[in-house]
């Protein structure tokens, strides 16, 4: 029996769950807890699997567990296979309940959550029975989940580097940054401000995973750097909002997100120019994978929602969602 046949005939779903758990935890005891079994049972199952494959999958010592090159290959495929099995189970149950399928959507913090929720609401109102599962996280982490097949689509920015060949990108909108304070902040009553008015405040800025962070640091260098000892770095909008409340703090925020919370009366957008580049936001999805009809419907609903935001001219400080321009050189 050759090796491919051995693999197909003797490697089971239980083995894939095992390699996935150990690869995620890099600890036999934690993998055992994750699988609701004992560490000796995990150790025995791993030895059996390595014997079947005639390969060492992990380097193990009393302190560390590390993937070998062969273990890394198998772990990646186990992640994808288990993700597809989970997707099959969810779609099966959704179809049994009368839904066309489950749509797993990734959303990064720099995108207003209301853009997605209102787009999904409009689909429901139009009679489309779409069961959506929304996950929020970092752009890079969610992009990896999309490639592995654990997400069907992702609303993100384009600062992810080269995309995998099977990832399709649909343009959505462009956005800039602005400075915000809580609605009751003393600066919220000022019609004009200069840099010295905000430099001495406590600052909330995106982490270095955000595409605009290096440009923010450049602005600090050119205008005068705030006190780094009071700097808070986060991509979580809820953390920024909580920190702004009742404090002398200013935050750098994407304008579309800031506008949503301004309309809710939570924050005030300062009349101080602080645009550190234009971010291009897109809908990413896997080609020929997942519920393509649902992804296409979501893309259309997102475009309709963005267009309705552009038409809100009655609000003088409305979100400046800028339409994609042809032949524009990407800034991010």
Which CATH number goes with the domain that contains 60? 1.10.10.10
**110 and 149 assigned to the same domain:** yes
- Separation between Cα atoms, residue 299 and residue 63, nearest integer Å: 48
Count of the separate structural domains present in the chain = 3
**151 and 219 assigned to the same domain:** no
**246 and 297 assigned to the same domain:** no
Question: For residue 248, what pLDDT is reported?
Answer: 87
Q: Average pLDDT of 217-236?
A: 82
**60 and 130 assigned to the same domain:** no
**What is the spatial order of strands in the sheet that 232-233 belongs to?**
232-233, 202-205, 249-254, 177-182, 267-269
Q: Average pLDDT of 207-226?
A: 82
Tokens for 1?
A: 């029996």
- Give the pLDDT band (50/70/90) at residue 312: low
Range picked from 63-67, 77-81, 169-173 for highest mean pLDDT: 169-173
- Give the pLDDT band (50/70/90) at residue 244: very high
**42 and 103 assigned to the same domain:** no
**206 and 256 assigned to the same domain:** yes
| pTM greater than 0.75 (yes/no) | no
Task: Name the region of 128 (left: φ>0; alpha: ψ -120 to 50; beta: rest).
Answer: beta
Q: Which of 161, 137, 116, 144 is nearest to 299 (CA)?
A: 116
User: For residue 221, what are the domain limits?
Assistant: 177-269
Contact 163, 292 (CB under 8 A): no
Q: Average pLDDT of 217-244?
A: 84
Question: For residue 80, what pLDDT is reported?
Answer: 84
Contact 1, 43 (CB under 8 A): no
Query: Is there a domain that residue 93 lies in?
Result: no
Q: Average pLDDT of 66-84?
A: 87
Query: Is there a domain that residue 105 lies in?
Result: yes
Task: Name the region of 106 (left: φ>0; alpha: ψ -120 to 50; beta: rest).
Answer: beta
Residue 314 predicted with pLDDT over 50 = no
Q: Average pLDDT of 77-90?
A: 83
Q: Which of 178-182, 191-195, 225-229, 303-307 has the lowest mean pLDDT?
A: 225-229
**187 and 263 assigned to the same domain:** yes
pLDDT digits (tens, 9 = 90+) for 176-209: 889 999 998 999 999 899 888 898 889 999 888 7
In eight-state DSSP terms, residue 322 is B
CA atoms within 13 A on the CB side of 80: 11
Which of residues 76, 108, 136 is at a domain's end?
76
Q: Average pLDDT of 133-152?
A: 88
**58 and 134 assigned to the same domain:** no
- Give the pLDDT band (50/70/90) at residue 172: very high
Query: Is there a domain that residue 222 lies in?
Result: yes
Question: For residue 65, what pLDDT is reported?
Answer: 86
* Phi, psi angles (nearest 5°) of residue 58: -135, 145
Question: For residue 313, what pLDDT is reported?
Answer: 39
* Phi, psi angles (nearest 5°) of residue 205: -130, 160
Query: pLDDT over 70 for what percent of the chain?
Result: 86
**162 and 305 assigned to the same domain:** yes
- Give the pLDDT band (50/70/90) at residue 256: confident
- Average pLDDT over the chain reads 82
- Separation between Cα atoms, residue 22 and residue 325, nearest integer Å: 47
Query: Is there a domain that residue 137 lies in?
Result: yes
- Give the pLDDT band (50/70/90) at residue 157: confident
**164 and 292 assigned to the same domain:** yes
**142 and 69 assigned to the same domain:** no
- Give the pLDDT band (50/70/90) at residue 240: very high
């Amino acid at each position: 029996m050759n090796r491919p046949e051995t693999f197909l005939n003797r490697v089971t779903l239980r083995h894939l769950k095992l390699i996935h758990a150990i690869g995620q935890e890099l600890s036999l005891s934690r993998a055992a807890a994750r699988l609701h079994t004992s560490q000796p049972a995990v150790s025995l199952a791993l030895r059996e699997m390595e014997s079947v494959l005639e390969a060492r999958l992990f380097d193990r010592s009393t302190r560390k567990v590390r993937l070998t090159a062969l273990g890394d290959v198998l772990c990646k495929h186990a992640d994808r296979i288990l993700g597809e099995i989970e997707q099959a189970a969810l779609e099966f149950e959704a179809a049994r309940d009368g839904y066309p399928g489950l749509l797993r959507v990734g959303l990064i913090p720099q995108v207003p959550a209301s853009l997605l929720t209102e787009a999904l609401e409009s689909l429901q109102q139009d009679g489309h029975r779409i069961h959506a599962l929304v996950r929020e996280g970092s752009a890079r982490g969610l992009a990896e989940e999309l490639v592995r097949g654990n997400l069907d689509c992702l609303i993100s920015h384009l600062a992810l580097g080269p995309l995998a060949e099977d990832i399709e990108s649909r343009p959505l909108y462009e956005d800039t940054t602005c400075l915000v304070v809580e609605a009751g902040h003393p600066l919220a009553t000022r019609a004009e401000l200069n840099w010295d008015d905000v430099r001495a405040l406590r600052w909330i800025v995106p982490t270095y995973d955000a595409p605009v962070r290096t440009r923010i640091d450049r602005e600090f260098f050119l205008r005068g750097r705030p006190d780094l000892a009071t700097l808070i770095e986060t991509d979580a909008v809820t953390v920024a909002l909580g920190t702004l409340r009742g404090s002398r703090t200013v935050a750098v925020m994407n304008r579309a997100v800031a506008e949503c919370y301004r309309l809710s009366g939570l924050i005030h957008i300062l009349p101080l120019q602080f645009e550190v580049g234009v971010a291009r936001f897109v809908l990413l999805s896997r080609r020929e994978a997942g519920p393509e009809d649902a992804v296409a419907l979501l893309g259309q609903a997102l475009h309709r929602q963005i267009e309705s935001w552009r038409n809100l001219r009655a609000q003088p400080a409305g979100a400046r969602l800028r339409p994609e321009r042809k032949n524009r050189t990407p800034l991010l």
